[in-house]
Amino acid sequence: MQQPAPPLATIAAALRRERERVGISLAELARRAGLAKSTLSQLEAGAGNPSIETLWSLGVALGVPFSRLVEPPPTQVRVIRAGQGPRLLADKSAYAATLLAAGSAHARRDLYVLELEPSQPREAEAHIPGSVEHLVVAAGRIMVGPAGEQVELGPGDYIAFPGDVPHYYEALEPSWAVLVMEHV
Amino acid sequence: MQQPAPPLATIAAALRRERERVGISLAELARRAGLAKSTLSQLEAGAGNPSIETLWSLGVALGVPFSRLVEPPPTQVRVIRAGQGPRLLADKSAYAATLLAAGSAHARRDLYVLELEPSQPREAEAHIPGSVEHLVVAAGRIMVGPAGEQVELGPGDYIAFPGDVPHYYEALEPSWAVLVMEHV
DNA sequence: TCGTGTCGTTCGATTTGACGAACGCCCGGT
DNA sequence: ACCGGGCGTTCGTCAAATCGAACGACACGA
């Protein structure tokens, strides 16, 4: 989901913001991006509906990803102590997830801590297409991966796999891990 | 950084891919997005340089974020064993970072494993504006945070703080942690 | 077999985004 | 004061993106 809000104003603001961050003039940016000053001027004024190529070249010239130009901004200092924080997905008792950082509109990645007790394998439903799961085991041993491709991991081991196909988690001993869920 | 490659072909592919995923016809999508069939037809054919509004409405109609339409497809299964993988930033010996997953063009987050030995505090240079660091301690004890706001963390503890100001890492005992660096 | 519906493509007409030139403005050097 | 140079804006022109309508192809039912 994304805000139905027209991105025109957002883009205008983002362009000016990023340009001033880099510390260059409108004319200079236009030059680097290979655009006419007038075009950029109108874009920053909020007038206009730039083509992809135009916005793209601006992103390149500014050294920022594209997405940064069409979405609003982020965060500050926060601490969540072990065991604190919203505990999610604790369906049975063998599997608990604590949400540390929810993906903002443009940083599409959620950060979890996963706690698992030995039990029968947990089958995770497939998530929305394009999602990727990143897992780093902090302690214990876990069998994990897409159906048919499970791998056994120990402390410090890392795995990444598509989240949009059925996959399994199975703790071989009491374990916990850091999960980065990257969606869409 | 992002690929200098013209995203035109990527967009074409993404549009068709996402549309077929949703399982609707080109005409139906055009209808939902409020566009002419012809426009969409040409876009999927790879001809064209859509405006932001056009692409945006397609994203909305498809129920996917925008970014998904201007970037290449995702990953697959990958495992990096503890101690393997590219070791970075190992300036002295008290601080080593292993890159697990580099941020893709739009998923601007790098995943690291950090290993720290007790020593004098490490002062990290400020990163580019807008960056945020997320840290989950896996083992040991670490003092970490922006200058003047350091916090002591133990296993399972989580902290997030701005990466664009000077900040410190100090291991109180041999430690390791998972770091998600979220940039720009 | 014919009609009706939807599909995706192609074609001209029109809207509109991008360009280049000129403008007024402010600053620094001579 | 005068002048060059950069700034950001505004204007008319041109190319291109978008539209609407028509097309042939296919499937289904009367």
Q: Are residues B30 and B100 in the same domain?
A: no
Backbone φ and ψ for A39, nearest 5 degrees, come out as -60, -50
Q: Are residues A145 and A95 in the same domain?
A: yes
The answer to whether A11 contacts B52, with C-beta atoms less than 8 Å apart, is yes
Tell whether B51 is covered by a domain.
yes
Number of Cβ atoms within 10 Å of the Cβ of B27: 11
Token pair of B17 as six digits: 């891919």
> pLDDT by residue (tens digit) across A118-176?
877 777 765 655 677 888 899 999 998 887 778 888 898 888 887 777 788 889 999 98
Tell whether A81 is covered by a domain.
no
Strand partners for B97: B88, B114
Q: Are residues A33 and A119 in the same domain?
A: no
Residue, of B137 and A91, whose pLDDT is higher: B137
Give the gap in angstroms from C-alpha A154 to the nearest C-alpha of chain B: 8
Which domain range does residue B65 map to?
Answer: 8-69
Q: How many domains does chain A have?
A: 2
Under the banding of pLDDT at 50, 70 and 90, the label for residue B74 is very low
User: What radius of gyration do chain B's Cα atoms show?
Assistant: 22
Residue nearest to nucleotide D21 (CA to C1'): B38
* B152, pLDDT greater than 80: yes
Percent of chain B scored above 90 by pLDDT? 14
Tell whether A137 is covered by a domain.
yes
State the DSSP string of B122-182. EEEPP-STT-EEEEEEEES-EEEEETT--EEE-TT-EEEEESSS-EEEEESSSEEEEEEEE
Cα atoms in the 13 Å half-sphere on the side-chain side of A124 = 25
Give the gap in angstroms from C-alpha A63 to the nearest C-alpha of chain B: 6
User: Whole-angstrom Cα distance, residue B101 to residue B111?
Assistant: 5
> pLDDT by residue (tens digit) across B13-68?
888 888 887 788 899 999 998 999 999 999 999 888 899 889 988 888 887 777 77
Q: What's the pLDDT at B16? A: 86
Token pair of A160 as six digits: 């990444």
The answer to whether A79 contacts B49, with C-beta atoms less than 8 Å apart, is no
Return positions of chain D under 7 A from a protein CB.
Answer: 6-12, 16-22
Query: What is the CATH classification number for the domain harbouring A28?
Result: 1.10.260.40
Q: Are residues A95 and A40 in the same domain?
A: no
Tell whether B149 is covered by a domain.
yes
Give the gap in angstroms from C-alpha B63 to the nearest C-alpha of chain A: 6
Residue, of B20 and B75, whose pLDDT is higher: B20
* A86, pLDDT greater than 90: no
User: Whole-angstrom Cα distance, residue A176 to residue A61?
Assistant: 42
Which helix (H) or strand (E) covers residue A146, if one does? strand A142-146
Tell whether B56 is covered by a domain.
yes
Please tell me which of the candidates A65, A79, A134 has its beta carbon nearest to residue B158. Answer: A79
Determine contact, residues B59/A2, Cβ cutoff 8 Å. Answer: yes
Q: Are residues A124 and A171 in the same domain?
A: yes
Tell whether B3 is covered by a domain.
no
Q: Are residues B178 and B92 in the same domain?
A: yes
Q: Are residues A148 and A66 in the same domain?
A: no
User: Whole-angstrom Cα distance, residue B146 to residue A77?
Assistant: 8
Backbone φ and ψ for A111, nearest 5 degrees, come out as -115, 125
- Crossing angle, helix B8-22 and helix A52-62, to 10 degrees? 120
Please tell me which of the candidates A6, A79, A136 has its beta carbon nearest to residue B100. Answer: A136
Q: What's the pLDDT at B104? A: 52
Backbone φ and ψ for A52, nearest 5 degrees, come out as -55, -45
Tell whether A34 is covered by a domain.
yes
Query: Helix or strand or coil: residue A47?
Result: coil
Residue, of B53 and B107, whose pLDDT is higher: B53
> pLDDT by residue (tens digit) across A97-127?
776 665 554 455 677 888 888 877 777 765 6
Q: Are residues A109 and A173 in the same domain?
A: yes
Residue with tokens 């604790």: A90
